[in-house]
Amino acid sequence: MNDVELHEYFENMVRTLRAKGVLCAITSGLACVHYGIAESTQDCDLLCHTSSFPVLLDYLSETSIDGQPCQYRGNISPPLDARWHKGGWTSHFEWDLGAGKVRLDVFGSALREATPWADDLHGFYAGMQVVAWMKRTDRDKDWPFITSLGEQLLLRNDPRGWLHVYDEEALNGYLKRVPIPDELLEKRPALRLLQSGHPDLRFALKAEREFWQELDRLRIRILRRALRPFVVAMARRSHADSANLTEAHAERVAVADSKLDPNPLRTYGIDRYLKEARENTVQFIHPRIVEYLPDLAEHFQTLQS
């Protein structure tokens, strides 16, 4: 199966799953390609409501690509189970085609979402805003995609685009043509600098981005630490994963039960996590810029519950 066929394959997967009543949508790289922003990936990131996991697991266990079955990605993938996904974990699957592997990552909740992702769908895809929140990673390469998604929202007359444009020149261009709603000025204080034509805008834009990236770095560090006992326990089993995905899943759940914290960020403390990321960010920026860092607590509220 070539890349073109794979793209169609994943769209058909969503179509089939939805026909079975599964609430799901493609996000991240393939969604960017759909929205007109070329990202080189053949792997699929899928958002799926946790209540639909049993149906998704059945589907994956019955589905093959080029005759190869779907399997969990080695010892590193948490199980496809609501207990862990509600705590921010992702499940990783793959089809080993010999010449290469096709990968599918499943998210029960959209990272950094402030509102439910299922309220914002676009055909087979997660909405632009959802994709833009998920793209706020520690990887520099993801950031031009966020601005592009913000631009597309503004082009569709959706003011939420103002939350996602990080390019000073583009922001100044839009300012002359698109009003900024007051509620967004509260959510993103750096937009006040844009409105007033203040030269500190470019420093505030860098500070915002650094804050998001620091949050992601810290999140990865916390999850990595929490995942290690699970990875060790999985690796030290006396046998490999069953070729049957349903059986492999049951065993993975049993290991996770005793070895994987369902919600490491909550264990760490969401407030502590936000505070630390903010303090680390402040080390990089001038004190006069600190007031323009946004309050990002709403993006981690779902992990509190």
Partner 1 sequence: MRPPLTYKPLTKEHVDELREIERDYHVRAFGEELARVNLDMTKAERIRYLSAMRENARKHGVNLERPLPYNFTEEELNDEAS
* Closest-CA residue to 165 (of 127, 141, 129, 217): 129
Q: Which is nearer to partner 1, 219 or 249 (CB)?
A: 219
In whole angstroms, how far apart are CA 2 and each of 7, 35, 72, 101, 106?
9, 21, 22, 12, 22
> Which parts of 89-118 interact with partner 1 (CB under 8 A)?
90, 92, 100-101, 103, 105, 114-115
Q: Which is nearer to partner 1, 7 or 282 (CB)?
A: 7
Task: Tell me, residue by residue from 150 to 169, as one string, x for binding to partner 1 by CB under 8 A and - for no binding.
Answer: -xx-xx-xxxx------x-x
Encode burial over 236-265: b for 16+ CB neighbours within 10 A, e otherwise: eeeeebeeebeebbebbbebbeebbbbbbb
Task: Tell me, residue by residue from 246 to 275, as one string, x for binding to partner 1 by CB under 8 A and - for no binding.
Answer: ------------------------------
Q: Which is nearer to partner 1, 54 or 229 (CB)?
A: 229
Structure token pair of residue 244: 């049957």
Burial environment of residue 180 by CB neighbours within 10 A (0 to 12, 13 to 18, 19 or more): middle
Q: Which is nearer to partner 1, 185 or 282 (CB)?
A: 185
Options 27, 52, 71, 75; binder of partner 1; rule CB under 8 A: 75
What strands, in cross-sheet order, belong to the sheet with 125-126? 64-65, 68-72, 90-96, 101-107, 44-48, 24-27, 125-126, 121-122
Q: Does 7 bind partner 1 (CB under 8 A)?
A: yes
- Tell me how far apart the alpha carbons of residues 96 and 5 are, in angstroms, rounded to a whole number: 16
Q: Does 36 bind partner 1 (CB under 8 A)?
A: yes
CB 60 within 8 A of CB 93: yes
Task: Tell me, residue by residue from 214 to 243, as one string, x for binding to partner 1 by CB under 8 A and - for no binding.
Answer: ------x--xx--xx--xx--xx-------
Query: Of 148-156, 205-213, 255-263, 276-284, which part binds partner 1 (CB under 8 A)?
Result: 148-156
Q: Shortest distance, CB of residue 144 to partner 1, whole angstroms?
A: 4
What's at 269, amino acid-wise? G
Q: Shortest distance, CB of residue 288 to partner 1, whole angstroms?
A: 27
Strands (E), the chain: 24-27, 44-48, 64-65, 68-72, 90-96, 101-107, 121-122, 125-126
Q: Shortest distance, CB of residue 196 to partner 1, whole angstroms?
A: 20
CB 184 within 8 A of CB 163: yes
Q: Which residues bind partner 1 (CB under 8 A)?
A: 2-4, 7, 33-34, 36-43, 74-76, 90, 92, 100-101, 103, 105, 114-115, 144, 147-148, 151-152, 154-155, 157-160, 167, 169-170, 173-174, 177-179, 181, 183, 220, 223-224, 227-228, 231-232, 235-236
